[in-house]
Structure 1
């Protein structure tokens, strides 16, 4: 008997009991759909994380302040980074492309009768756009002279334009930030929302000296963080080591002292987040895969019932010349076909569920732009796994059918 004849007989047998076949594959459908959905959402999360770090800036390293400690004793809880540290990093670290101090603030920005509370109001250095890999839509950015003079100039994000200016061109207009007048000299290009849905375009950038002295009213030269960009991805490690060595020297950190700063490489943070999302995806997929095993057990049970019901048919086929391997192949094909049909339906259902989940996530957090990922390799793996379930759980019933004695089978009532 040819292979195609065996497939035809197997399909005919399945079509005789459509409801039984449908109920049999439900477990496989649910298992494949769950795994497909989880893998798709997990890969979407990984892409989103990667995109967020690219949006943060190419090859970015962050330096954060800590507490001053000497000999294990805390000396001060005040911020320990200064704008001079940022200048030194740019000047003395060959692997560094640019750096910018960051001074955060908050409050209201007013234009005419309109007012708005931006999500981010930051004081930064003249190289901030280089570090963040951000471009201007219009106008210019403040210069070193503006920073040294505590210049009252600002650059705004796209979100502020409709909120404050409506149809007016913002360039050269005067706004008030916490009642301090600022002239708008530039407009940033659109960045979109970050991974948690926060609008990155809802931002006002000002010289860090202006924010520190005129808005925060601080007489100190301290900054909240330093953002650094390495010259290339290959030089990230070298830049990090150079920054650490320079800061240890500048802050006079001794062998027994705890550093009053920390240096974080965003590629390491991204890699860590990637490992976390990958591990969670794998764990959830494994849990969802349990339903595949349940579906496989269901297939085995139904195939055993089918063997019992078709004992006389098996006996007749053997009596007219069918060999044991023909019977084995027929029942094995029935099992694999059942499993693969369930896998195909599950794959389609999982893809549809992933699309729906992506739409809901983006609707819940407007601007998040959570990507919809359909992995072709993952689809092939899912179908292969479905076929493997059919082979594994269908082999015992098929072998049992092939070992029936033709005479006993013909006597079966």
Structure 2
């Protein structure tokens, strides 16, 4: 790839970010639909969903190296003109996804009950969480295959097919959710478990389409550059080496958000349900703002793979600015909707009364989060996982976690929990700004050394 130090055309970023946006938003949007459907069952099922959904999302999210790490490696190879090798990274990531997903399913079934009781503080909320989680766990291998598929396709700058695949699965889940939860005609519904069943059906469709895509890549590959569908130990080890840093980083996120859910549960069903509503919106916006970062991952990786460091640095400056603009716009939007949007998810007076304690933190953090998520994408695209790992641990251990547990000790409730999230974002913002300014992340070559 060639180019200069000038600005990258906006249309090039939009070409990748546009299709990536609905892909990123699809899963959290389904969870928002799920939250709204389950919310009609009452505070206890909604609180159970809050515990179980955060647990499931954190377990699968901890393995996001299957997406982000694969994008970084595939993009460099694609930038160097080695498409078959880039697709091969997707094949290996898919093997890892299946193996790790089956492990998550097996271990998850063993610990679902005890973990739900710990996080849900026993009782009806814990029982509801366990019932949802046991069904949802069967989707773990499918979710991880989808992550791997998104990763290699983004690396080769194909965001159109993932858009179709993910939307097909999530649209089916959304259509099935209400009938499976509340019933339809003579069918009385499955209650909370119905939402997990609907999700599982959609995940099966999405994962199947990504597997079919790999098979098609093999069929159309040139004879002198074949795509093998067999596991390659050397590539698996290389992916795991990068994945190690991203796993540790994801573990820090997991510790933070599971701790927040557990502490919120100690303040009662209404508090944890309110936390669930705002937190799902936070996760949704995190991925929406990450759309520009996905484009940056692919373009930065390809630029560095092709040896064009100035282009990579120009992209970093641009996506940081785009993240700030988008985050500010969304912050204003959510501030304006403070009295309206929470009612979409629940009519419970106690839950609605608890929402504002978290809502204003959520709205106010959007500009900061926009920059953080965008520059995270730049550094991930460059394969700078070790730096992101270290500073995520610092922000979690020095910011989020101490305030979360202090909130339990001193009775600060949602205000304390969300103050911890604010400090977490601020510390990460300082770290990524310093790193991008230093230029130490911009290492050229088809493979980062």
* TM-score, normalised by the number of residues in structure 2: 0.24
Higher helix residue share: 2
Structure (1 or 2) with the larger CA radius of gyration: 1
Which structure carries more relative contact order (alpha carbon 8 Å, separation 6+)? 1
* TM-score, normalised by the number of residues in structure 1: 0.25
